[in-house]
């Protein structure tokens, strides 16, 4: 069995709802970075405060590549492919979302995920 560990911001509502949405179709271990032993993953609090990390099969993915990995494993291959194909645009979009968690677009995405998780 391939274990997938997701290290996310446990204080971010979008992050929380995203993890719940992923867990609806994919078995993952979800760890809020604020309360986890990050040294076991060779990560720091500073790194994890900036982006999500996924550790699977000895490989660590961060940011947009982590999201693309999770989407593909969840069965959302088209969305995963779009993130990968967008390259620097997808990475820039991820960084914008991560640094604007209280903006209206992020709040809208959080509301949509909350609805989908019901």
Write down the domain spans for the chain: 4-116
C-alpha 50/C-alpha 73 separation (Å) is: 23
- pTM for the full model? 0.93
Confidence of residue 35 (pLDDT cuts 50, 70, 90): very high
Compute the mean pLDDT over every residue in the chain, rounded to the nearest whole number: 95
Q: Per-residue pLDDT for 1 more than 60?
A: no
Instruction: Tell me the two tokens of residue 109.
Output: 């995405």
Average pLDDT on 64-86 reads 97
Q: Are 13 and 2 in contact (CB under 8 A)?
A: no
Percent of the chain with pLDDT over 90: 97
Average pLDDT on 61-72 reads 98
């Amino acid at each position: 069995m391939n274990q997938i560990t997701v290290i996310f911001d446990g204080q971010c509502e979008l992050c929380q709802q995203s993890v719940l949405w992923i867990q609806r179709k994919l078995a993952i271990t979800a760890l809020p970075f604020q309360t986890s032993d990050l040294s076991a993953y060779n990560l720091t609090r500073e790194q994890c405060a900036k982006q999500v990390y996924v550790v699977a099969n000895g490989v660590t993915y961060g940011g947009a590549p982590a999201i693309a990995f999770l989407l593909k494993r969840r069965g959302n291959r088209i969305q995963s492919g779009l993130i990968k194909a967008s390259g620097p645009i997808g990475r820039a979009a991820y960084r914008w979302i991560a640094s604007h968690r209280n903006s209206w677009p992020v709040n809208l995405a959080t509301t949509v995920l909350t609805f989908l998780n019901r």
